[in-house]
Structure 1
Amino acid sequence: MTETSRLDLLNDLLVWCREHGAEMPDQRFEVDAHGQCLVRNNRDFAAGDRALKLPRTCMFMQKHAAETPLVQAFHDAGGAFQTMHGMLAVGVLQEFPNPDSFWAPYWAVLPRSFDSVPLFLADDLFPFLTGTMTQAMAVARFKELTAELSLLQEKLDSGWTFSQADFFWAYTLCSSRAFAVPDGEGGTVPALVPLLDLYNHLPECNLSSFRPDPDGIVLETPEGLPADTELLVSYGAASDVHYFVNYGFVDHAMRAGQSRLVLQLNAEDPQAPVKRQLMNGTMVWEMMVTAADFDAINACLTIARWVTAVELRPQIESLTAQEEIAALRLLFAELGRSVAGFYQTFEQDVADLARPDGTWTFAEQMVRRATLSEKRVLLQARVFCARALEALDAPALDWQAPEPRWIDDGVVAAWVTTWRASLPFLKA
């Protein structure tokens, strides 16, 4: 599909939405080199200007999916959808190929593939996610959807004519574009929302989070915006991993990093049975490490204290400096082990992303951003451990931090400050 034809389809969609009561004043669509759509304003917008009003009549809602033959047959056979967007996806599979569908102008602009979503990555790209939380989530999503598909096939038997690829595509379409919208009865339901899903995401968006309207949804400009500004919404506060697994993109700044850390009890530890009880009955504890979130680091450190403790004591106030050093050293070592388990080194990822624009496809860029985002938050946590050990006058670590520009030093400093304030023997 050429850029011109895609723009024509987008403009046709806008005309169709307006015919059914939508308002989207003084805005235009553009398509970038990767085929991604963006929306700009044609004039200055004042604070409080309405950017979009979309009635429910334009949306493909869960109730529409529930009325389709296959969903009804599935329910009649005793089936129940296990995934969040399973019903909506089955409804899309039936409506999408119908040329007489009410939503045909909307179907025409939707993507036919999701090359950058981990579920659909090319065989030569998926290995780059080795060792990452992203890989684990993508594998879990695959298993979840495979189980849902098996149940559909079992209950519908010969009535189910769609392939695994069809179902995975429809589900990804819904998981990447659906919004929770008012159902007209005081609640919300998942729905595919034309026009709203064409605005790109940025945490520091310039359009308000959409608010309920008696007939649909409304977007406004909280502050004035000059003409030719890209109009942006927030898809919600989430991690880069979440955005990549569900939407197939990672923000260029990679500011919402998240990864996982595994801490394991030593089975030979005499106190292992007691420690295992503290760790909810498991010998292996998997935890999240999140950028700018000291609580996540502190939770990891708490488990590290239990793992390394010679004498278990429930109160942090009774910790000694030597016990804290042991916990920090364990945490430091395991963070390094996590980073070492990735497909390539941090320095190689940085060098890859520094290559000229056009070197990588969109999917290749997103894979590299995703792995670098995870590594950066793990390395940032290692820097915290190193700084904390310095504060305890512990022997120097045989390690050199990566380039400072790849570590948010302000976040590390805030972590160290919060950590120091929690330990009585450091407060003085």
Structure 2
Amino acid sequence: MRSIEQFGDLQREVIEWRRYLHENPELDFHVDNTARFVTEKLASFGINRIETGIAETGIVALIQGEGGDGPTIGLRADMDALPILEASNKPWSSKVPGKMHACGHDGHTAMLLGAAKYLANTRKFSGCVALIFQPAEEVELPSGGLKMVESGIMDRFNISQIFAMHNSPGIEVGNFAICYGPMMASQDDFDIVVKGKGGHAAAPHRAIDPVVIAAQIILGLQTLVSRNTDPTEALVISVTKLKAAQAYNIIPDQVEMAGTVRTLMPSVRDFAERQICMTARGIARSAGADVDFKYIRSVPITINHTKETSLAIKAARDLVGSSSVDDKIKARMGAEDFAYMLEARPGAMIYIGNGSTAGLHHPAYDFNDDALPYGIGYWVNLVEMVLAGR
């Protein structure tokens, strides 16, 4: 078992990188300063092949092992922040009002940089490691993960397997969690415009009220989950936007509504797209109205592949012991655009514990620096195990 203490000296340096990134958050594809910082660090480690400007601001850097020829595996970290006003009150809080690293991508980037420095110095493996620093994970469509795949990185860098790691508040620092198969849900979005007949609110009988119809549609959509879907097959349908009249005494001509759909099975995803439209249209037409409907398939289901999941579990257990790695965590209904990379190549994502911090996307969230050596150690273990046959 590898000792976590061997990354102690590296941790102090990586903390500085992580806090610098936290203080200087950037959004979506516009992570120019972050990408420049990452590129400069990679070059300082003696990494010669660094390609920038992939999917606008993405980076892929290659470390060749000293053990001879072998496959190339990809390790991915995301770099972008969120449009949230920070309320963590940490000394290293965001210096950019309205932007913060509320999902821990600063920690993800710092951990992969730490592993890059270690691996570039030791190179105790065969083959090659592709370090993938991705922008725009928080963007729905097209996201950074999708654009990097579409740019051809898998073929261009001969990547045969792909791995990622995401921090998880609520899991103890020093622990990992993962599962085989679906680990995170797909994310789809829908827009519905209910078209009725406007009028005075005091004379509803002379109108076709789209507000009432919209309310019926919202309730009707919930029966798709509670009464039309197998209880063992996860489905979430949430209406999150509703726009009607701007005055107390007006029945509008139309109501705009929108929401999100999450599922863990392709067949349930197909069912949701089909039935949301049928339900909304049926309710509206029964009341003399109609709907315009748009359904957008955004992020696919994040599905961990069997062989690569086993490799991830072994690498984590070699670092922290079997009892600190949960390999049967329940799938979560959040979405992750690493799913696009898992569609392109076999691989796996693992959660790393962030302790009892505020939740992801919360204004008070902060990545836990105590997790850094565990993340670095996991990446090093994984590379040396997969590419050296340990």
Sort the TM-score into its range (normalised by shorter chain): under 0.3
Q: TM-score, normalised by structure 1?
A: 0.23
**Over alpha carbons, which structure has the higher Rg?**
1
Which of the two has greater strand per residue?
2
Q: TM-score, normalised by structure 2?
A: 0.25
